[in-house]
Amino acid sequence: MSAELWNSAARVLEINWQDDHMVPSRRLYPHQWSWDAAFIAVGLAYVNPTRAWRDLRSLFEAQWPDGRVPHIVFDPATAEADYFPGPSFWGVPAYANRPPNGSTGIVQPPLHAVAAWEVYRRASAHGAACVQQAYGELEWLYPRLVAQQEYLTTRRDLGGAGLAGIVHPWESGLDNSPSWDAAMANVPADMTLLSTFRRRDLDVADASHRPTDRDYARYVGLVLSYRAEEYSDTDLLSRHMFAVECPSFNSILGAAELALAQIAAVLGLAAESDKHRDRAQRITGAIVKHLWNPETRTFHARDVRTGTLSPAHCVSGLMPLMLPDLPAEQVEGILAEARSERFGLPDETGLPVPSYDRTAPDFDTQRYWRGPVWINVNWLLRRGLLIHGRRDEAEDLRAAMVRLVHRNGHFEYFHPKNGEGLGAPTFSWTAALALDLLADRSVPAYAKAG
Ligand code: GLC
């Protein structure tokens, strides 16, 4: 089984390579996406490390002068009509040496430091020249990764809690998650926007798998609101209707500091390395203080505008497990939530965890991020289990992911009851992470003793 899966995964990464970057999938997502590039690099490192670095580099070549890394870097060779919302809708002005309309103005979770560290770790398997290349790439990336963290922890600390706020659901990477429903209810849905700007996702995907028109009108309205001041974050709360602290986004922010601590140590920057570790601790503390609900005993998204926690139980609430300094009470809370019938770790269902609470009345087996299983968040959860010494459960989850992808293909996401593949069929991060799940059983360096 593993040779077959390995070869099919490697083939997906071959098919989806475009000049200097990987597309998530040819038809649905014909540009470069930020956190996709991170997940992709982790797996691409096994079969083509040069391309793994190239993908990360081309993404960071599009970094804005303020440090933000755009959630999409547009491929100028792709027609405007092939993706909505496309380059001219975002209307990003020229920056650095890049032409106008080159990217979006929002971000995605900063997983790239984790990815860079993982690609570096795998270099030794490819020989000395590859290690040397990896070292050079880390040197190039390090200051850029630091600038990304600085942007997110200063300009995006919208609530003053020491956490990064997202200003659009798409910034979470968990685009249509019920985590945003409460905060989105305050965002006006101007349905006329959908006649001005036609959705393109419905031409290439089944409507029952995609967000509703009402949600889409809100998504478009939020982009227009952020775009109105050229994506400035100054005084954003007074003029922008969506600002949320997401547990998954902020856990990745913390994990990035831990990866930066390792990268800084390799680059001989010992003092910097300590600072990154301190920052990871501070972020962990802020997540616990602001996003933990002692009654539900799990983490929830917080609406910065109202100070309230979302009532929804989503997979994002499990992600703080990635942080080694998470206190025992929260570790136990997450494990109980993950094992409960809401998420059911694989010994219950044989499947990886779904994106949303299986027991919720609006659990949806088709619509993306509102029920289906995604490999990327399960990969992060497995990492969390390893970090907290839960090796048996980590192994069950690994086996469940491998089984799911082997049986059903490299789909974007999967039906949470029967495992059927949904969304885009040859999806890059599913393939890349399948390679990693087949190849790597090691435990992250900063794991707690199991
Ligand atoms: C969808 C996902 C997002 C991903 C993008 C490209 O929008 O929700 O996380 O980055 O597709 O794959």
Q: How confident is the model at residue 212 (pLDDT cuts 50, 70, 90)?
A: confident
Q: Of 18-27, 160-169, 200-209, 280-289, which gets the smallest average pLDDT?
A: 200-209
Mind telling me the catalytic residues?
175, 412
pLDDT of residue 400: 96
Q: What's the token pair of residue 384?
A: 């969390």
In this predicted model, what pLDDT tens digit does every residue of 59-80 receive, in sequence order? 999 999 999 999 999 999 999 9
Number of other residues whose CB lies within 10 A of the CB of residue 233: 19
pLDDT of residue 450: 52
What share of the chain in percent tops pLDDT 90?
88
Nearest CA to ligand 1 atom 7: 175
Q: Of 176-180, 193-197, 218-222, 235-239, which gets the smallest average pLDDT?
A: 193-197
pLDDT of residue 295: 98
Res 205 pLDDT > 90: no
36 lines ligand 1 (CB under 6 A): yes
175 lines ligand 1 (CB under 6 A): yes
Rounded Cα–Cα distance for residues 190 and 229 (Å): 20
Provide the sign of the torsion angle of the four alpha carbons 216, 217, 218, 222, taken in this order. positive
Res 349 pLDDT > 80: no
In this predicted model, what pLDDT tens digit does every residue of 132-170 receive, in sequence order? 999 999 999 999 999 999 999 999 999 999 999 999 999
Max CA pair span of the chain? 58
178 lines ligand 1 (CB under 6 A): no
Helix 391-408 with 375-387: angle, nearest 10 deg: 160
In this predicted model, what pLDDT tens digit does every residue of 295-314 receive, in sequence order? 999 999 999 999 999 999 99
Res 448 pLDDT > 90: no
User: In Å, what is the CA distance from 103 to each residue of 33, 75, 142?
Assistant: 10, 9, 22
CA angle 298, 344, 108 (to 5 degrees): 55
Res 190 pLDDT > 70: yes
pLDDT of residue 206: 81
Res 237 pLDDT > 80: yes
Rounded Cα–Cα distance for residues 292 and 305 (Å): 17
Provide the sign of the torsion angle of the four alpha carbons 441, 444, 445, 448, taken in this order. negative
Q: What's the token pair of residue 369?
A: 């991020």
22, 26, 29, 55: residue to mutate for ligand 1 pocket, most atoms within 8 A of CB: 29
Distance 430 CA to ligand 1 centre (A): 12
> Exposed, middle or buried: residue 106 (CB in 10 Å: 0-12, 13-18, 19+)?
buried
374 lines ligand 1 (CB under 6 A): no
Rounded Cα–Cα distance for residues 284 and 338 (Å): 19
Q: Give the mean pLDDT of 4-28.
A: 97
Q: Of 16-30, 335-349, 430-444, which gets the smallest average pLDDT?
A: 335-349
Nearest CA to ligand 1 atom 2: 173
What share of the chain in percent tops pLDDT 70?
99
Distance 29 CA to ligand 1 centre (A): 8
pLDDT of residue 399: 95
Q: Work out the mean pLDDT of the chain and round it to a whole number.
A: 95
Distance 173 CA to ligand 1 centre (A): 6
Residues 148-158 as b/e (b if ≥16 CB within 10 A, e otherwise) read bbebbbebbbb
Region of 230 (left: φ > 0; alpha: ψ -120 to 50; beta: rest) is: left
Rounded Cα–Cα distance for residues 105 and 43 (Å): 27
Cis before 87? omega within 30: no
pLDDT of residue 263: 98
In this predicted model, what pLDDT tens digit does every residue of 91-117 receive, in sequence order? 999 999 999 999 999 999 999 999 999
3-state secondary structure the chain: CHHHHHHHHHHHHHHCEECCEECCECCCECCEEHHHHHHHHHHHHHHCHHHHHHHHHHHHHCCCCCCCCCCEECCCCCCHHHCCCCHHHHCCCCECCECCCCECCCCCCCCHHHHHHHHHHHHHHHCHHHHHHHHHHHHHHHHHHHHHHHHHHHHCCCCCCCCCCECCHHHHCCCCCHHHHHHHCCCCCCCCHHHHCCCCHHHHCCHHHCCCHHHHHHHHHHHHHHHHCCCCCCCHHHHCCCCEECHHHHHHHHHHHHHHHHHHHHCCCHHHHHHHHHHHHHHHHHHHHHHEECCCCEECCEECCCCCECCCCEHHHHHHHHCCCCCHHHHHHHHHHHHCCCCCCHHHHCCCCECECCCCCCCCCCCCCCCCECHHHHHHHHHHHHHCCCHHHHHHHHHHHHHHHHHHCCCCEECCCCCCEECCCCCHHHHHHHHHHHHCCCCCCCCCCC
Contact between 44 and 437 (Cβ < 8 Å): no
pLDDT of residue 347: 65
24 lines ligand 1 (CB under 6 A): yes
Q: Give the mean pLDDT of 413-425.
A: 96
27, 35, 36: residue to mutate for ligand 1 pocket, most atoms within 8 A of CB: 36
Res 195 pLDDT > 90: no
40, 175, 246, 375: residue to mutate for ligand 1 pocket, most atoms within 8 A of CB: 175
Q: What's the token pair of residue 69?
A: 């890394």
